[in-house]
Amino acid sequence: MELSKLDPRTKLAWYALMIYFSLSSGTAVQLGLVLVVGIMASFILTRSLKQYKVMIMILLLLGLQILIVQLIFCREGVLLYQWGILKIYSEALPLAITGILKASIIVFASMQFFTSASPQEFTLMLMKFKVPYRFAMLVGLGVRFLPLLKAEYVSIIDSQCTRGLKMETIRDKIKAIIPTFMPFLYRSVRRATETALAMELRGYGRSKARTFSSALAIKHYDIALISAMLLVIILSLASKILPLIYSII
């Protein structure tokens, strides 16, 4: 079974499960296990982890920040090392590791969800949740126009660079904001106006429903998977909440 064949609602339930575990698990071992299971699921279903290459770079940067913050500010555990005002406590590293793992699971699960569901699937899923199609279709529009906007912004930068605008240092780039952003804004407004008019004139929003070229049909295995995942979340929540209720009683 391929990942793309799963219903987007199943993917959403999986996403919710991963986020729930990342927030509820406390130890590095538990979190590591959740991350490995998530990565394995992706690998088994898509046979590739290429799409996460960029994510790893982002996570490394994020991880480094978490590590530095924990090393400087963590005051739990035993004092291991002191140099001037810098004090490193024994709990800094475990806390940094769990922090990095939690962040990794959230970023990974988000990537997994947003790269596996197509804009059309998003739209159809939102409509199943009773979102009007006029709003649900905006996801697809965003995906359609973002690359165009990017290409246009590059053309604007090219245009200004040939007039002598420098884009080498960060200072240059900050100074270049006005000469590049103003034409971009003007073009974007014009584009949006034309697109909206073209859509209206092709009957967009004339009635509450519309025909889509594909439909979401939830399959038995989707229902089984969603039920199982919801059950896990409910049981896990119950196991945490019930003892609290009993203790109060």
- Positions touching other proteins (CB under 8 A) are 119-120, 140-141, 143-144, 147-148, 152, 155-156, 158-166, 178-183, 186-187, 191, 194-207, 209-213
Q: Which amino acid is at 212?
A: F
Q: 3-class SS at 89?
A: strand
Beta carbon of residue 180, minimum distance to other proteins (angstroms, whole number) = 8
**Could you tell me the CA-to-CA distances from 182 to 168, 169, 186 in Å, in that order?**
20, 20, 6
**Could you tell me the CA-to-CA distances from 126 to 32, 120, 129, 219 in Å, in that order?**
32, 10, 5, 18
Beta carbon of residue 115, minimum distance to other proteins (angstroms, whole number) = 15
Question: What are the two backbone dihedrals, phi and then psi, of residue 121, each rounded to the nearest 5 degrees?
Answer: -65, -40
In whole angstroms, give the CA distance from residue 213 to residue 226.
25
In whole angstroms, give the CA distance from residue 8 to residue 115.
11
Segment (H or E) for 87: strand 86-89
68 versus 182: smaller Cβ distance to other proteins: 182
The two tokens of residue 238 are: 């119950």
Beta carbon of residue 209, minimum distance to other proteins (angstroms, whole number) = 6
From 63, 64, 39, select the one nearest 51 (Cα to Cα).
Answer: 39
Segment (H or E) for 24: helix 8-24
130: left (phi over 0), alpha (psi -120 to 50) or beta: left
Segment (H or E) for 132: none
Q: Which amino acid is at 169?
A: T
